[in-house]
Amino acid sequence: MVEVSEELIAGLKRKAVTLRKHIIRMTHNAQSGHPGGSMSACDIVTALYFHVLRVDPKNPTWPERDRFVLSKGHACPVWYAALAERGFFPVEELMTFRKLNSRLQGHPEFGTTPGVENAAGAEGQGLSFSVGLALAARMDHKAWRTYCLLGDGEQDVGQTWEAAMAASKYGLDSLTAFIDRNGIQQEGRTEDIMPLEPLAEKWEAFNWHVLTIDGHDFRQILAAIEEAQRTRGRPTAVIARTVKGKGVSFMENKIKYHGAATSDEELKLALAELEAMEAAF
């Protein structure tokens, strides 16, 4: 296993807090959007954009780049925050999120936002899209990899499993799927809405290499990515156990914050918590 330095982990933790502050501010400013699932996915997205992905903010369509596909499109605040912090567009632009004439649409639009690789919003299409990307990379003997982030609510969608079968049929080992297993979807707990467990066994039955990790532990996230990169002949599914609304105490595990912004008062409390976290580093 590759050595992961304390310094790297500390840097990623700091960056993730910055992204969480952006998510809270963007959704508060828009008074809509989906903060809960953006915050649960935040550490995975941070690890990818600030350590793993070979991308070039100056040349967002660089053909040799790694592809990140956000299948759970409602979590785009975390994507926009990461892209802005990575230099794809100015951080100030984040405050245009969900506003008229903005490049930062309520759900991702392909071709307008620098760095955005797919349109999403209707659940369940991203993994299939990623299969197409990975097939093209293999046809052209390219080294770039495809990372797809799915929600756990999206495991309800039949197309997710159509894609899972296709990826294993073609042995797409350049494809890694992260499943943001925060346990909550729009109307309630996933196990009440449509039980998913045993989820890891489902992916294993579809012939994927499956890892289950703590999706807020950077060492585990990086180790999983490294293992996925070493795995030959099969795609890897990383089931990342996460907390919806992670990082702000009163938002954690609350169904409400799937699709609700903070009030003015909550904004202050949330930012105070995140700033205290920052100061503690």
Partner 1 sequence: MVVVGADTTESIKTFEFGKAFPDRLFQLGIAEPNMISVAAGLAAAGKIPFASTYSVFGAAHTYNIIRQNVAYTNLNVKIFCSHAGLTVGPDGATQQINEDIALMRGIPRMTVLVPADGPETAKCVDAAAAMKGPVYCRFSRTNVPTVTSPEDGFTIGKARIMRDGSDVTLIGCGIMVARCIEAAALLDRDGVGARVINLSTVKPLDVAMIDRAARETGAIVTAEEHTVVHGIGGAVASAVGSSHPVPLAYIGVQDVFGESGEADELLTKYGLTAKKIAEAAMGIVKRR
Binding positions for partner 1, rule: CB under 8 A: 63, 109-111, 117-122, 124-125, 128-137, 139-140, 158-159, 162-163, 165-166, 170
Burial class (CB in 10 A: 0-12, 13-18, 19+), 224: buried
Instruction: Give least dist CB 65 to partner 1, A.
Output: 11
Instruction: Give least dist CB 47 to partner 1, A.
Output: 23
Collapse the DSSP code of 182 into the 3-class scheme (helix H, G, I; strand E, B; otherwise coil) and give the result.
coil
CA–CA distance, 60 with 259 (Å, rounded to integer): 29
Residues present in the chain in total? 281
User: 136 vs 276, which CB is nearer to partner 1?
Assistant: 136
User: 4 vs 135, which CB is nearer to partner 1?
Assistant: 135
Instruction: Give least dist CB 278 to partner 1, A.
Output: 37
**Residue 79: closest CA among 126, 143, 144:** 126
Instruction: Give least dist CB 223 to partner 1, A.
Output: 27
User: 32 vs 159, which CB is nearer to partner 1?
Assistant: 159
Tokens of 277: 């976290």
Say if residues 174 and 147 touch (Cβ distance below 8 Å): no
End-to-end distance of the chain based on CA atoms, in angstroms? 26
Say if residues 257 and 36 touch (Cβ distance below 8 Å): yes
Say if residues 50 and 88 touch (Cβ distance below 8 Å): no
Instruction: Give least dist CB 120 to partner 1, A.
Output: 7
User: 165 vs 276, which CB is nearer to partner 1?
Assistant: 165
User: 203 vs 257, which CB is nearer to partner 1?
Assistant: 203
CA–CA distance, 58 with 87 (Å, rounded to integer): 8
User: 162 vs 214, which CB is nearer to partner 1?
Assistant: 162
